[in-house]
Amino acid sequence: MNTEVKAKYLKDYKKPAYAIESVDLLFELFEEETFVTNTMQIKKTDASVNDLTLDAVNLELLELSLNDLKLQESRYIIEEEKLTVLNVPDAFEIKIKNKIYPQDNTELEGLYKSGDIFCTQNEPEGFRSITPFLDRPDIMSLFTTTILADKKKYPVLLSNGNKIKCHEDFKERHGVTWHDPHPKPSYLFALVAGNLGSISDEFTTIQGNKVALNIYCDLGNEQKCHHAMHSLKASMKWDEEKYGRAYDLDIYNIVAVDSFNMGAMENKGLNIFNSAYVLADTDTATDANFMGIESVIAHEYFHNWTGNRITCRDWFQLTLKEGLTVFRDQCFSADMNSAQVQRIEDVKALRERQFVEDASPTRHPIQPESYISMNNFYTATVYEKGAEVIRMVYTLLGEKNYRQAMDLYFETFDGQAVTTDDFLWAMHECGDFDLELFKRWYKQSGTPRLHVKESFENGTYSILLTQKIPDDVDGKKQKPCYYPLKMGLLDRDGSEILAKTLIISKESETFVFENLKEKPVLSINRDFSVPIIVEYGEAQFAFLMKYDTNSFTQYEATQNFALRTISEIIESSAINDDFVDAYGHLLDLDVDLSYKALLLELPSVSAVMQLQKEIDFDAIYDAQDKLLLHIAQKYKEKLLDIYKQNHLPASASLEAKYIAKRAIKNRALKILSILKNDEVAELAQKQYEESLTMTDRIVALDVLENLHVSYAEVALQDFYNRYKDETLVMNKYFAILASSSRYDVLERVEKLQRDKVYDEKVPNLVRSLVGSFARNHKHFHAKDGSGYKFLADKIIEIDKINPQIASGLCGAFKVCDKMNKHNQDLIKKELSRVISTQGLSKNSFEIIDKILK
């Protein structure tokens, strides 16, 4: 057992005793080693302290001097994660030279190599493995950075801010100096060196400043950067229009790298991206990929104000910047595309990932109280639930007051490292809501439920709303929540009687609506105004599917009715005809086709699983298949019609209209594929062969893989040959195979690990092969334990390479306590084996420990 691990607590926060006013960095990059020389101007802010303790991981110190005098060894102490300089004066310069090995850094934190490119990832605590520093976000300094490297291998040398000097005076080497005029925390520091291609553009801010925009990538990929550039310019414009925020440097650089632990990073003036969120063309990227790029580019750009100009005081405040920035990127995407589709997609993602997390032993409030590894808290809860909390603030304040409150927030805290309380203070100044009650959203975990009980008597309709608040993870009672609940009432012909936002503040409350001719139909939690689970008494799902005037609750009614129908099939194997009829009605709806494609999607395994006390995956798959088969048989002609109407004429256009046609057509094809007949197999095969877009190709491939072995083999081989050199496309290939329903999946996954395209050091590949398998419930939860054993072995192996990726994989086991006894025992056996592995990272330890407790 790992006994070294120690948790950090929010309540232990202390102000720093020093300020680092400026830092001058020199990087001398070589193939075998890198020398870092770090010169800092430091001042005491607390006169009572004597020693300066810097964060420093595995420090290989070469030189240390204070005010130009070399320090004797008796003047400092080096520990595993610290460098302490004893008895320092009130103000001084300290110079540290040390050596690091980026080429051997497989954790991809700090300075590392992605292929031949030097790059960095410092959030949250990577900087301390580059050079000693007060590596905490409330230390904000001015950075000047000089990079020296081989001229041929690394012609492009980048860091934050503006380029102030080129050094061309040596033969094979060259250098560049960058200066960032904005003080920033070390987690926003970035460096890139490589032989890169690029595209450039320009943006003129609302204040008339010209900003040079550059996107860098591997040579040869330049043509795939245009969508990202377009998205960047749209984001810059949107933030000016919607928030009055303009960009504040003369240059904005984005670099795409293949090896990256997360999506992207908002380093000041130099964003570094997982190439999956930059590179796209219609031959290699799906419509969903294009949307993903638009939203991540926007997300990182929006951080410039919500994250960089105003940053977090400490990492417990992470949702201050992440929740807010996700909310901003969601609104941006809603404005760029279909708002109703965007909202549904966001809620779907929230429920698939965050609700599951919030019901598991790893659940935590959006503002956690403690952590062992901060890297484990870049979660769906901090990000997506955090965004829902900001959305509630927005709903409570209304658009105008929200904008005023945001202006106040920027005015008051610009240039500072602040807390979620500071943010809420600004919101509360401009709005009328119960601040203390609302703060519970930051402190409590678990998904709240709301029970609805309706009654109608003498023209008076009332709803009794009762909150059910889950206990926290340690079994402590939590309190009722405060939120805006959007609702509407419809009359019997489906027209709207009223639309309203109720303020929910008590554990239980009755709301009364008078002077009604007949009992109305309730449409509740419109737009998903609060992230809760609604428990209906007698709900009118079929009616709402037909008549609801709110597109979100219309979708919701469909999902809820389908979930109820699937649950009934699991219990009694009978199919509710009312649902099947209502579904048939949806097929004829004349609405936006992207929205319709979502309406027609039946609930995922994860959605059904969340209803079960003890999860039974086999039963879920059987019931789903049974319902889908019934629908496909009954509506075969209509579905074929929808397919044909939208399939031709073929187009690779990215206009909304064509994206929608692809979405609805592919939805129809997927539903029809349950028929497992030659007709559908041939449609899929033809679609594969004639496809003009990756969207069509990948859906056809996936359908074939699960439908027709021999057609699939041909298509898979073709796909592999065509794309084996495109690593982003190979991710899709691995994901399809690892998610397959075929019986020999595990065997094939094991074999694919030896494919020459696969590389266990590249996070995207691990996520698409091993990660997809871990989400393939049918095979991962196999009764013989083979899926668990495979994943446990992988976690042990990958933990040695990259602890962040390993601990991400551990998450697949978090459903443990909801499984049957047999599977629980198997999981526990494997996890006990993993947690007792010598040298296991604190990242994996923290997650497994919570699951095993």
Residues that bind Zn ion (CB under 5 A): 322, 325
From the list Zn ion, ligand ARG, none, which binds 24 (C-beta under 5 to 8 Å, kind-based)?
A: none
In 3D space, the residue among 583, 584, 601, 581 whose CA is nearest the CA of residue 664 turns out to be 601
Strand 417-418, strand 483-490: pairing: unpaired
- Choose the contact partner of 831 out of Zn ion, ligand ARG, none; CB within 5 to 8 A by kind: none
**180, 258, 287, 322: which one contacts ligand ARG (CB under 6 A)?**
322
How many whole angstroms separate alpha carbon 844 and alpha carbon 804? 8
Q: For the CA atoms of 129, 134, 135, 136, what is the dihedral angle to 10 degrees? A: 170
Q: Are 145 and 162 in contact (CB under 8 A)?
A: no
Q: Say whether 8 sits in a helix, a strand or coil.
A: strand
Least CB distance to Zn ion at residue 284 (A): 25
Query: Which token pair is 172?
Result: 């094979």
Single out the residue of 783, 791, 732 nearest to residue 757, CA to CA: 732
Of the two residues 189 and 688, which places its CB atom closer to Zn ion in the complex?
A: 189
Minimum distance between the CB of residue 328 and Zn ion, rounded to whole angstroms?
10
Of these partners, ligand ARG, Zn ion, none, which one is at the site of residue 265 (CB under 5 to 8 Å by kind)? ligand ARG
Provide the edge-to-edge strand list for the sheet that holds 508-513. Answer: 508-513, 460-468, 449-457, 533-535
- Please list the alpha-helical segments (H only) found in 379-447: 380, 386-413, 420-429, 435-438, 440-443
- Binding part of the chain for ligand ARG, among 158-166, 168-176, 259-267, 618-626 by CB under 6 A, reads 259-267
Single-letter amino acid, residue 187: Y
Closest CA to 345 of 538, 203, 528: 528
Stretch that binds ligand ARG, among 258-266, 393-401, 437-445, 651-659 (CB under 6 A): 258-266
**Angstrom distance (rounded) from CA 173 to CA 180:** 24
Q: Which of 300, 345, 346, 384 binds ligand ARG (CB under 6 A)?
A: 300
Pairing of strands 264-265, 270-274: antiparallel
Task: Between 371 and 378, name the residue whose CB sits nearer to ligand ARG.
Answer: 378
Query: CB of residue 329 vs Zn ion: minimum separation in angstroms?
Result: 8
Residue 731 interacts, among Zn ion, ligand ARG, none and using kind-specific CB cut-offs from 5 to 8 Å, with none
Q: Which of 93, 16, 27 is nearest to 53 (CA)?
A: 16
Which range, of 50-58, 261-269, 498-506, 572-580, touches ligand ARG by CB under 6 A? 261-269
* Site map 421..460 versus ligand ARG, x via CB under 6 A: ----------------------------------------
* Closest distance to ligand ARG from the beta carbon of 329 (Å): 9
Give the per-residue SS3 of 687-719: HHHHCCCHHHHHHHHHHHHCCCHHHHHHHHHHH
Complex with ligand ARG: residue 141 or 261, whichever CB lies closer:
261
Q: What does 23 interact with, of Zn ion, ligand ARG, none (CB < 5 to 8 A by kind)?
A: none
At closest approach, how far in Å is the CB of 144 from ligand ARG? 23
What single-letter DSSP state applies at residue 323?
H
Q: Which stretch binds ligand ARG (CB under 6 A): 257-265, 489-497, 551-559, 627-635?
A: 257-265
What is the CA angle 190-192-196, rounded to 5?
150
C-beta of 239 vs 527, nearer to ligand ARG: 239
Taking the complex as a whole, the smallest distance from the CB of residue 761 to ligand ARG amounts, in Å, to 17
- Let me know if 427 is exposed, middle or buried by CB neighbors in 10 A (0-12, 13-18, 19+): buried
CB closer to ligand ARG, 299 vs 385: 299
Judged by beta carbon, residue 261 or residue 447, the one nearer ligand ARG is 261
- Is the preceding omega at residue 181 within 30 degrees of 0, hence cis? no
Out of 261, 444, 624, 844, point to the residue binding ligand ARG (CB under 6 A): 261
Contacts of 686 (CB under 8 A, 6+ apart): none
23, 88, 257, 264: residue in contact with ligand ARG (rule CB under 6 A): 264
Q: What amino acid is encoded at 58 in this protein?
A: N
**Among positive and negative, which fits the CA dihedral 662, 665, 671, 677?**
negative
Residue closer to Zn ion (CB basis): 325 or 540: 325
Comparing CB distances to Zn ion, the nearer of 287 and 322 is: 322
**Residues 633, 638, 642, 643, CA torsion sign:** positive
Q: Are 424 and 438 in contact (CB under 8 A)?
A: yes
Q: How far is the CB of 686 from ligand ARG (least distance, A)?
A: 41
Residue 367, contacted partner among Zn ion, ligand ARG, none, CB below 5-8 A by kind = none
Least distance CB 100 / Zn ion (angstroms): 26
24/300 with CB nearer ligand ARG = 300
Catalytic pick from 107, 300, 384, 830? 300
273 binds ligand ARG (CB under 6 A): no
Say how many residues touch ligand ARG, by CB under 6 A.
Answer: 11
> Tokens 């590179």 identify what position?
279
592 sits near ligand ARG (criterion: CB under 6 A): no
Task: Measure the CA–CA gap between 796 and 806, rounded to whole angstroms.
Answer: 8
Toward ligand ARG, which CB reaches closer, 278 or 671? Answer: 278
Closest C-alpha among 550, 525, 551 to residue 536: 525
Whether the CB-CB separation of 144 and 27 falls below 8 Å is answered with: no
Report d(CA 104, CA 83) in Å as an integer.
23
Longest dimension (CA), the chain: 93
Residue 399 CB, shortest distance to Zn ion, in Å, is: 23
Interface of this chain with ligand ARG, residues 116 to 135, rule: CB under 6 A: 123
Task: Give the position of tokens 């999506």.
Answer: 263
Active site includes 689?
A: no
**Is the CB of 192 or the CB of 671 nearer to ligand ARG?**
192
Closest distance to ligand ARG from the beta carbon of 808 (Å): 10
The 3-state secondary structure of 243-259, one letter per residue = HCCCCCCCEEEEEEECC
Stretch that binds ligand ARG, among 262-270, 417-425, 806-814, 840-848 (CB under 6 A): 262-270
Binding span for ligand ARG by CB under 6 A among 263-271, 545-553, 584-592, 732-740 = 263-271
DSSP state of 135: -
Among 5, 71, 212, 262, binds ligand ARG (CB under 6 A): 262
- Interface region with ligand ARG, contact rule CB under 6 A, candidates 226-234, 241-249, 260-268, 810-818: 260-268
For residue 358, the minimal CB distance to Zn ion (Å) is 20
**Closer CB to Zn ion, residue 298 or residue 620?**
298
127, burial (CB in 10 Å: exposed 0-12, middle 13-18, buried 19+): buried
Q: What x-and-dash track marks residues 354-393 binding ligand ARG by CB under 6 A?
A: ---------------------x--x---------------
Please, which residues bridge with residue 311 across strands? 417
Residue 550 binding result from ligand ARG, Zn ion, none, given CB thresholds of 5 to 8 Å by partner type: none
C-beta of residue 317 within 8 angstroms of C-beta of residue 419: yes
Candidate ranges 72-80, 130-138, 256-264, 406-414; the one touching ligand ARG (CB under 6 A): 256-264
Name the 3-class secondary structure at 670.
helix
CB of 365 to Zn ion, least distance (A): 18
Q: What secondary structure letter does DSSP report for 306?
A: B
Binding status of residue 265 toward ligand ARG by CB under 6 A? yes
Nearer to ligand ARG, 126 or 446 (CB): 126
CB of 307 to Zn ion, least distance (A): 7
**367, 10 in Cβ contact below 8 A?**
yes
Q: What are the beta bridge partners of residue 36?
A: 27, 98
> Which of 500, 460, 458, 503 has its CA nearest to residue 482?
503
Residues labelled catalytic: 300
Can you give the binding site for ligand ARG, defined by CB under 6 A?
Answer: 123, 261-262, 264-266, 299-300, 322, 375, 378
